[in-house]
């Protein structure tokens, strides 16, 4: 990205996907940084190939977010056979015209020529290790490697295309880092562990987050500044190698990685906690591992930081599992993205047009509840594909769906709900959550302690089902599987 581009990216106002930006309210992620974080997170998608081929798991994948008319219409990651850009062409084809693509790595020439040819508007990428890695060649001082040749071809394609190919990172809003840290620590999932296990200290959360920071820095950052500058030069980003641009770039990258690690830590891999069935009314449950369910819920957690409700942010993401495995060219396996959303005011409105006081306000007429469009409602409204009744569809929500959303979820044909259970059965001001418990014909996966575990203190969950957990398969072999399936 040239200096003028970088300056414009940093001064451009952050507007909401649904409405204009909220002034004087709690900090929120810009659209650019949200799409960037989602692309990085898609790179870590726990695909089936990673379990079957451990060597493949060591190869860095590429995450991709496809945005059309400022709405997310695709979440993808590369597979063992196809790069993310190639998958986007297969999945979207000519529908890529005028779309914006956010890559977790700079696309190679094979991908770039096709997506440029499709007529995309902008291609943004994470300014670190590209899709064909240059790090190994730089270390070995090789002058005729494929990565260097590909970098030259990519730069030539870039300079001769109408699409904007650039780095597009924005600085975080003031206090955003502190806000994410505080809300992650108070997140329903962390608090549930603390309630179930009194010995769970705050330091455990920070220790876990520190592990994630190290993991993601190794994956997304180039540790050596000199090597990073050399890679940027080979990628055609010479202007970013000069100070203060290089320092600003590195700082923005480190802050986004810290945000991702903090949000990921809010749904931790802890003991025997996970997503387990609260009912057994429907046999049409998805074939997911705990890690995949956790990954999708963290996507929803990231979306929640775009909220226009200053009291609480809610995110929702819809996925489906196709029946025909021969279509599994994506790194997500049989899963494919349907839609996502967060709670916001109606499209085209100004934030100040509607009341936004919380439920402590006495006058019911000027409360926000009748005006806010809920995350589940936005996800269903702006989904990019139809929900097929013969496929296993699922919605991941950061907060228990209210009585306004539960009939919509069932009526749209969604078969599975993944959620925490903090508000289940409660009535809070103008919002009621009693219909969720009464919902029939839809599997409800609650994030809780494993009901089959001997440590579980809730006898009412003894008959509940559970998702597959690859790491716990051996320990479950001698236990009754509540789905009625063997290990």
What the block records as the tokens of 361 is 């306000």
d(CA 409, CA 367): 25
Contact predicate 74/88, CB 8 Å: yes
What the block records as the tokens of 223 is 């540790």
- Provide φ and ψ at 102, rounded to 5°: -115, 110
User: Which residue in this structure is represented by tokens 């999945």?
Assistant: 91
d(CA 11, CA 24): 18
- In the sheet with 392-397, reading across from the earlier edge strand, the strands are 273-277, 443-449, 416-419, 392-397, 315-321, 335-342
Q: Are strands 315-321 and 335-342 parallel, antiparallel or unpaired?
A: antiparallel
Cα torsion through 217, 220, 226, 232, rounded to 10: -160
Neighbours of 198 (CB within 10 A): 7
Q: Where are the alpha helices (DSSP H) in 197-285?
A: 202-220, 225-234, 245-265
d(CA 29, CA 172): 7
Task: Quote the DSSP letter at residue 331.
Answer: T
For the stretch 232-256, what's the b/e string if a residue is b when 16 or more beta carbons lie within 10 angstroms of its beta carbon?
bebbbbebbbeeebbeebbebbebb
d(CA 173, CA 141): 40
Give CA angle at 143 (139, 147), nearest 5°: 75
- Chain center to CA of 189: 17
Q: Would you name the residues annotated as active-site residues?
A: 376
For the stretch 372-411, what's the b/e string if a residue is b when 16 or more beta carbons lie within 10 angstroms of its beta carbon?
bbbbbbbbbebbbeebeeebbbbbbbbbbbbebbbebbbe
Beta bridge partners of 63: 77
Contacting residues for 409 by C-beta, under 8 A, at least 6 apart: 376, 380, 395, 401, 417, 442
Task: Quote the DSSP letter at residue 93.
Answer: G
Task: Quote the DSSP letter at residue 384.
Answer: S
d(CA 36, CA 44): 13
Neighbours of 20 (CB within 10 A): 17
């Amino acid at each position: 990205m040239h200096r003028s581009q970088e300056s414009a990216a940093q001064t451009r106002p952050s507007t909401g996907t649904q409405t204009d930006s909220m002034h004087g309210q709690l900090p929120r992620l810009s659209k650019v940084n949200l799409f960037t974080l989602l692309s990085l997170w898609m790179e870590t998608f726990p695909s089936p190939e990673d379990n079957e081929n451990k060597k493949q798991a060591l190869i860095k994948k590429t995450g991709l977010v496809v945005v059309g008319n400022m709405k997310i219409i695709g979440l993808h990651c590369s597979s063992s056979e196809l790069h993310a850009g190639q998958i986007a062409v297969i999945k979207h084809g000519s529908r890529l015209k005028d779309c914006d693509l956010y890559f977790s790595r700079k696309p190679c020439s094979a991908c770039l020529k096709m997506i440029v040819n499709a007529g995309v508007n902008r291609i943004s990428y994470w300014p670190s290790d590209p899709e064909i890695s240059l790090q190994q060649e730089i270390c070995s001082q090789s002058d005729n490697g494929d990565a260097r040749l590909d970098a030259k071809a990519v730069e030539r394609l870039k300079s001769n295309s109408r699409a904007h190919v650039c780095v597009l990172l924005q600085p975080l809003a003031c206090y955003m880092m502190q806000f994410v840290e505080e809300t992650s620590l108070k997140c329903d999932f962390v608090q549930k562990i603390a309630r179930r296990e009194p010995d769970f200290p705050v330091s455990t959360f920070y220790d876990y987050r520190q592990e994630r920071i190290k993991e993601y820095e190794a994956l997304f950052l180039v540790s050596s500044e000199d090597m990073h500058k050399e890679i940027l030069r080979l990628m055609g980003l010479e202007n970013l190698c000069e100070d203060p641009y290089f320092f600003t770039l590195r700082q923005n990258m480190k802050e986004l990685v810290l945000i991702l690690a903090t949000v990921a830590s809010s749904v931790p891999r802890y003991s025997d906690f996970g997503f387990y069935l609260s009912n057994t009314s429907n046999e049409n449950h998805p074939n997911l591992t705990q890690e995949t369910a956790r990954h999708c819920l963290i996507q929803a957690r990231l979306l929640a930081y775009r909220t226009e409700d200053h009291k609480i942010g809610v995110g929702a993401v819809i996925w489906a599992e196709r029946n025909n495995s021969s279509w599994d060219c994506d790194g997500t396996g049989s899963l494919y993205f349907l839609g996502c959303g967060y709670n916001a005011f109606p499209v085209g409105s100004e934030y100040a047009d509607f009341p936004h006081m919380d439920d402590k306000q006495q006058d019911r007429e000027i409360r926000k509840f009748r005006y806010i469009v809920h995350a589940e409602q936005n996800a269903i409204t702006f989904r990019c594909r139809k929900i097929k009744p013969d496929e296993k569809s699922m919605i991941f929500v950061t907060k228990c769906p209210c009585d306004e959303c539960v009939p919509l979820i069932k009526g749209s044909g969604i078969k599975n709900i993944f959620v925490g259970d903090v508000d289940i059965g409660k009535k809070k001001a103008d919002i009621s959550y009693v219909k969720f418990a009464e919902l029939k014909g839809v599997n409800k996966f609650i994030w809780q302690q494993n009901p089959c575990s001997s440590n579980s203190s809730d006898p009412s969950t003894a008959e509940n089902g559970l998702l597959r957990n690859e790491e716990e398969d051996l320990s479950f072999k001698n236990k009754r599987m509540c789905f009625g399936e063997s290990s």
